[in-house]
Chain A
Amino acid sequence: MKGLFNALIGIPTVALGLYLYLLLSRSGPLGYFQLLYTPYAIIVGQCVLVTPIIVSFTTSALESVDPEVRTLARTLGASGLQTDAVVLREAFWGVVLAVLAAFNRAFAELGVAMMLGGNIRNVTRVLTTAIALQTAMGEIALSIALSIILLGIVLSLSIIVSLARRPSR
């Protein structure tokens, strides 16, 4: 199962966007919900896109916890739920990194947002689709400014997580 999610991490966003477009379009199986070209379509698409990343990275983080932690917790009187909680706590930073990687992937991708959102001004336009549009329109300066904002947000979050992680190590 983990292998499947690992494989899905690398799925091209354009391909995913296309399949979801077919699903959500008016004549598609989920057309009834009329989600296409709404922010909800982008949310659905990004959730599908990042699920393999979260599952795969979180599984790896949980697997990296010493299996004896579970045994230790039980000898200290932990219930099944408390044992799971302590394993999750031990994998905390791995889970945070999984969420961060998923956020960065969703935040910085173009294909799904463009195909499912339609890049409608004030409705479904996001940073990446705005950059693509402005570049196509020859507004290179604006594109560069927007890309700096995009990079700034992604890098800032990564730096914040790195700094927060350091004292606990």
Chain B
Amino acid sequence: MTTANHRWRLYRFASPATFYPLAGKLVPWFAAVAAILAAWGLWLGMLRAPTDATQGDSYRIIFIHVPAAWMSMLLYVVMAFWAAIGWAFNARLASVVARAIAPTGAMFTFVALWTGALWGKPTWGTWWVWDARLTSELILLFLYGGYLALVSAIDDPRRGDRAGALLAIVGSVNVPIIYFSVVWWNTLHQGASVSVTTAPKMAAVMLQAMLLMTLAFWSYAFAVIFVRARAIALERDNRAAWAGAAAGRTAAQPEATT
């Protein structure tokens, strides 16, 4: 079996037949952009940005804390959106993408909580406090974990997709709670440092570094999620191939793809 033939056969069985090769082509570009922007952002943030007048150099955690926290919320919304599309329109690729987003969202949620704890200790004198912002972000981690546990516990992929979609949609009420928690409640966590309507409350170089790191994390998320979505698409067709073989079908009939 030649490599070209091998690859062609894989593509034919890759569930969303156009997504698989397209995502494969985009992954190296997103990875490269992520690396370049992270190097640029870290250079500005760690080597060029001045020491903060009140927090000293502990504030430099902001360059990963805020981008990770933003990504944790954004990815949840995107996951719930694609899960809902996959359910409402019976679109298999949308459900695959939703599943592919969850682990990366959970990772960024963990990073936001971890870096927050390490920032909280020198700034507030405590690793953790049960205030609204921190508690709702912890609930976000549990929602990602619950989604992952639920979809992996159900053997039938499409039933798992629908159950996961329900959980993701219901859980999405938590995202505005996280975002506005610092406004709605009196929290130890500070308010937003950056908003669309007011001037940023930080030096330009700090803001630039933070935005570069945000774009780097965003590009990283695309790369990792695309690879995972490709893997999940193949795993699902693998199951179909097994079923076909078990049923004694000889010709390799491609499954209907979405």
* Chain B associates with chain A: no
